[in-house]
Structures are given as structure tokens and as C-alpha cells.
Amino acid sequence: MKKGLEVLQDKTLYKSIAFTRAERERLGLRGLLPYRVDSQRRLVERVMASLRRLPTDIDRYMSLSALQERNERLFYRTVIDHIEEILPLIYTPTVGEACRQFSHIAREPKGLFITPADRGRVKSLLGNWHERDIRIIVVTDGERILGLGDLGANGMGIPIGKLALYTACAGIPPRHCLPVTLDVGTNNEELLGDSLYLGYPRRRIKGRAYFGLVDEFVGAVQAKYPRALIQFEDFLTPNAYALLRRYRHRVLCFNDDIQGTAAVVLSGVYASEKLTGTTLADSRIMFLGAGSAATGIADLMVAALVERGVAREEARRKLWFVDKKGLVVSGRKDLMGHNLPYAHDHERLSFMEAIEALKPNVLIGATGMPGTFTKAAIERMSVLNERPVVFALSNPTSRAECTAEQAYAWSGGKAIFASGSPFGETAYKGKVFRPGQGNNAYVFPGVGLGALACRARVISDGMFLAAARALADMVGDDDLRRGSLYPPLQEIRKISLAIATRVAETAYAGSLARRRRPLNVKKDIRDFMYDP
């Protein structure tokens, strides 16, 4: 048993002045701490007071990172108790700036970096990690970090942030979590010219060399951590789809940008039905942006419609895409494979022409380009629809297609607005709106928790459909009156438990679970959840 300074230096054991008198005697801590004994609740108050005194969000990010390194329990207690205030600091939008500066502000290492120089040795490299029972791995190659592009090894901030949310939002014990960056180089000239850049200082490897390294990594994980779920995060669209197709039916994995985002947005559309009176089956949905996030949303919507008895081709005809070259139509020769199912027979149109011709009632932005939902577009959506539904999903906040204030003002208060990054309360003509944030944190922690609890073999579309419906079911009338399509973030652990229960039940029903179904699935999952 550790004693004295060993206890104080172990972030998983350290409790600061919350150690009781008896614990101090038993662990040899007497004299190593100030006299006062305080509660964890009071320590959280101290942390929050300190954070609020700091001048910028990146300073707050750094302070929380340091807290995570020295006092893990207090860090997670603080995040859980103040999730609405802390989430934007440890994840989007602040994590975007943290990734930009990662090589300049990096502190204690929190994950594994795998480079082309490690080829042939990835399995032994995994053995260098201090924990042996890994259940969740979030991995990125840093090529498409949020809406910021290629940040190379600096993208490690994303897996670190996502895994903090797995613990805070869904109770995955921190010891079971491993952040990984496949540092395969970067094509970012600024980073390559930065003498402080911490990553592999070469241009990105491609093709066979790239996929060979990913294959070695996935195989090493299965050999070393056979119970682990792999979450792919912030890969460039072609690679994201290629890797998902490569592994989804034989490895416990999913891509959060494709599948997690899809479930969150589908849930928001389900919730909007209560305000618009228009069901998903009766909707016409237009996407601005045709990358992995947008197409992933469409694919899950098609699965939802098929589940409701709509023919697959008819379902796809309800979904239309516009990219930087205009409406995605069958006559175009510049489309990628994931776009082809949605390339319908139609004349080529601009974004505004497409709104006029197709008359969508739901507009979804996943462009990474700010200001692309123009005043004219929102105004026209509001003429065509009594309650237009507008999702401005691009992260961080600075990349959103429009702001909440713009959506409400340009629509005359008619828009039902949701975003990927947080917007605060917005007043329009005496009415206060509190727009919902379509944050993946609502879904991926619960999906991961459910998959681990039942020891799922793979993650199916049915599990994400179950997650979307579970989340929509938790949106109350008060939420809708405030203009929010999502429940309060303060309820995130209850939300994750509800989603995990539905996911596990879906896995049990579909014979996708390695465990025998317990008598009480919800209690079984609740008992697993980490409480700091």
C-alpha cells in the first residue's frame, strides 16, 4: 500500500485537504498536509472560484489540465458538478485553441503517440502504457481537427478531451481510458516550420503506408486490449469513411464525426417534430456541406426512415446536399463515393436556388465555414416554413454557419435553432431563447458505456438509432418552450445511463453482446459507473 509522499504524488489517490484525520494517520500523511480538513464539495468551490478569476478560457483550460494531472477525483467532481460551465473549457470551443497551441503549452503526457518510425513495434509500444485494462481508446490522426484542419500531433487535445467526457458524462473509470494520436506527419507548413512543434516533422504518409500503420494499430489493440472500443475522431473525410468501412463489421469501433454526430442531429430532428408538427418521414432536409459529418447524418436518417417502413431510395430522396460547387446532383463528375447515393436527378443549382426549388423545412450546416447561412437564406427558410429548423453544427463557435442571434433575428423569431458549439441565452423582441447545443457529448459517452457494459461485438446502426430516440425522449416541454431541442447538460449522467441502457438492450436483442443479459440492465450499467 502506498504511503506518505507516494500517495500525494498519485493523481488517482490524491484528495488534497479532503483526506480525513483517520486517512492521514493510516496513510502516513500527518504533517504533509495543512491542518484543515475540508469536504470535496468545498474543494470544488475553491476550484471554480480560481477558474473564474482567470482572464481567458485557454488559461482555464490549462488550470483544469493541471488539476487533472494532480487530483483526478477533484477534476472529475468539478466537471460533473459544473458541466455546463466546464464543457466549453475542456472541449469545444476552447479545445480548438488548445490544439492550435498544443506544442507550446503541453504539460504532462496524457496519451500515446504512434509514428511511422514505430512501424512493426506498435504492439510493444502499447505495452509502455501504465494501465493494462483499457476499455476505451479515442484515436485521431490530427488531419481534420474540428473546423481547423491539419494540426498534426497537436490534435492530441481531442482524444484527451473526449476521454475526459467519457468519464465525466458516462462514468467510464479513467484507468480504462487511453488517448492515442497516430502522428503520421503533417502538411501544415506553419507546424513544419515551428521549432517547438512536438510531432513527427515530415509530410503525411499516404496510401498503403498509411493504412498499413492503422491496420497494425487496430490489430495491436485487439491483441493487447481485447475488450477495448476504438473511437475514430477527426480523420479527413475519405480516410474516415475508408476506415469505418474497413473495421465496423469486425472490430468494436465507431467514428464519432460520422455516427455520433448523426445520432445527435437525428435526435434534434425527432425533438423538433413536437414544435413543427412535421415528422421525419414528411420532412425535406437540406445539408450545406457534404463531408463525413453531413453524410453520416443522412445515412442514419435513411436508416431511421427504413425502420419506419420507408423504402431506402424514397428515404434518400428526402435528403439533399449542397457543397461549394452547388447542389449535389447525378450529372456531376467530381463527387466522392459517400456522396453518390444522394446525387439525385436534378438541374445544378446554387445554395439559394436550391432552397427556393426544393423548399426544405430542415437546414443542416456542416461546412466548417462561418457565415454560410446568410441572412437571405434564413429569411427564405422562414417564408417557406412556419417554424424552420436550423442546425449550425460547425465547431468551434467561430466556425458556425450562423449565430443564434442571427438565426432568431433573421427569421423573426421563428427559427428552431441548434448549434455544434454553445451559444448563450438570446433575447428577441422580449422573448428569451436558450438554444440547444447539438454536442456529441450527449451521445458518444452513453454509446460507449452501453457497448462496454454488454461487451458488444460491434456497434450497429440500430444502437445509434436507439441512442437518438433515447436522447429525444428526454427533451421536456420546458426545454422546447425555451427553444432547445436537447435536455439540460446538468442531466448528462442520467442521459448517458438512459442511452447506455437502450444501446445494451439493442445489442442483447440483436445477439451482438458477448455477455448474458442481466436481470436489470439499467442497474447493471449504473453499478459500473465511476463516481469520483
Classified as helix, coil or strand, 364 is strand
Contacts of 490 (CB under 8 A, 6+ apart): 83, 84
Task: Give the number of C-alpha atoms closer than 13 A to the C-alpha of residue 170, restricted to the C-beta side.
Answer: 31
162 in catalytic set: yes
d(CA 146, CA 140): 11
DSSP code, position 260: I
- Cβ–Cβ under 8 Å, residues 182 and 143: no
| Grid cell at residue 532 | 469520483
CA angle 420, 365, 345 (to 5 degrees): 150
Residue 389's DSSP bridge partners are 362, 416
Of 232, 191, 234, 198, residue with least CA distance to 92: 234
The secondary structure of 46-74 as a DSSP string is HHHHHHHHSSSHHHHHHHHHHHHHH-HHH
Cα–Cα separations (whole angstroms), residue 266 to 92, 273, 376, 401: 20, 11, 26, 19
**Which H/E stretch holds residue 320?**
strand 319-323
| Grid cell at residue 186 | 503533417
Sheet with 389-392, edge to edge strand ranges: 326-327, 319-323, 285-288, 362-365, 389-392, 416-419, 436-437
Displacement of CA 11 from its chain's centroid (Å): 26
Q: Which residue type sits at 64?
A: L
91 in catalytic set: yes
Classified as helix, coil or strand, 362 is strand
Displacement of CA 161 from its chain's centroid (Å): 9
DSSP code, position 487: -
Active-site option among 162, 200, 210, 270 = 162
Q: What is the largest CA-CA distance in the chain?
A: 79
Active-site option among 76, 91, 166, 225 = 91
Helices (H) and strands (E) in the chain, counts: 24, 14
Q: Which residues are catalytic?
A: 91, 162
